[in-house]
Amino acid sequence: MKNVMVIYGTRPEAVKVAPLIRALRESDVLTPIVVSTGQHREMLDQVNRWFGIEPDHDLDVFKAGQSLTELSARILTDLPAVLQRYAPDAVVVQGDTTTVAMAAIACFYEQVPVVHLEAGLRSGDITSPFPEEANRRLAGQVTALHLAPTSAARDNLLRENFDPAAVVVTGNTVIDALQWTADQPVRFQDERIAASAASGRPMILLTTHRRENWGEPMLHIGAAVRRLAERFPDHVVVFPAHKNPTVREAIIPLIGDLPNVIVCEPLDYPEFVHAQRLSRIVLTDSGGVQEEAPSFGRPVLVLRDNTERPEAVTAGTVKLIGTDADRIVAEVSQLIEDPATYERMSQAVNPYGDGHASHRCVAAIAALLGVGERVAEFEVSAG
């Protein structure tokens, strides 16, 4: 058996590695070692409980208010001892967080092969999203096996002259997690959301937290949502407020007093999946939501000027609208008032996965370690 260490630290990472950890547990030739950095704490623990994951080791690097430099230093300082203790044959990192970049560098220094899950995403702007675009590029430089979620991500890597033999198109494991979670019964802990869901009133789901939107852009988002809530009082806006005070102080004062706006604590992962399914429109600056919501045929308006996930934009279920308040109001209003526009965007086309990405990943890792063979790569169904 070959030991494969999976390192992650945030809620989105946990969601995307959970199906892979499950598939590794089922493998006859690979066994997982699960390591959490604890970059996110409360939200990360919720996902671990939902998927039944108990890390073998937790670095517990979370510290309120720490800078990216402090976080990076703690991970890079603490992780080598863990790598030396467990001596994995390969290490999987996922996505584009600070955990990913620092873990990849630590593994390189320890001469442990790096497997980059969700490799090849590019916005084309090193500063946006910040610091994610730089993190994923840094990780890619020391990666032995690039698990690209889509053919577009693979093409990005090939344009950067990575070895084609080291790139595999797997689909995104987020769809594996989403499909499993959507089939589970879930009850909203916030009674206001439960009552709204039961009432059948149309819901607009809002999420925003990106660093590049801090300050004036976030104030514009809040102002736009207020105008929309007042213009469409039959709609309910649900805003699970990110824990970051910068986000809360910008948005909540602008919308928190409206009767058809529900400001709540961050929803746990299963509740958030079901909120996406129940929503009619999704407003977000999250990368993961751009991947998830199209599975439910929900139009996604992205509060950013660029995206490293262009596939759903091309498919027509996701649209980049930026943070200008007038633009946000106009785009949401069109979806509400023009059934034809809504119908075009709500076609359930998801180019990101088919629910079997984790099994392709395990096969590719086994092949890397000389104990298995790759399987057919992911392709978007013409249907």
By annotation, the residues acting in catalysis are 96, 118, 132, 209, 211, 242
- Amino acid letter for position 50: W
Residue 5 CB partners (closer than 8 Å, separation 6+):
32, 33, 34, 35, 83, 86, 88, 90, 91, 92, 112
Q: CA distances (Å), 192 to each of 89, 161, 188, 198, in order?
A: 48, 52, 9, 10
Whole-angstrom Cα distance, residue 129 to residue 263? 25
Q: Which two tokens stand for residue 267?
A: 């929803």
Whole-angstrom Cα distance, residue 284 to residue 271? 16
Q: How many residues does the chain have?
A: 383
Q: What is the 3-state secondary structure (H, E, C) of the chain?
A: CEEEEEEECCHHHHHHHHHHHHHHHHCCCEEEEEEECCCCCHHHHHHHHHHCCCCCEECCCCCCCCCHHHHHHHHHHHHHHHHHHHCCCEEEEECCCHHHHHHHHHHHHCCCCEEEECCCCCCCECCECCCHHHHHHHHHHCCCEEEECCHHHHHHHHHCCCCHHHEEECCCHHHHHHHHHHCCCCCCCCHHHHHHHHHCCCEEEEECCCHHHCCHHHHHHHHHHHHHHHHCCCCEEEEECCCCHHHHHHHHHHHCCCCCEEEECCCCHHHHHHHHHHCCEEEECCHHHHHHHHHHCCCEEECCCCCCCCHHHHHCCEEECCCCHHHHHHHHHHHHHCHHHHHHHCCCCCCCCCCCHHHHHHHHHHHHCCCCCCCCCCCCCCC
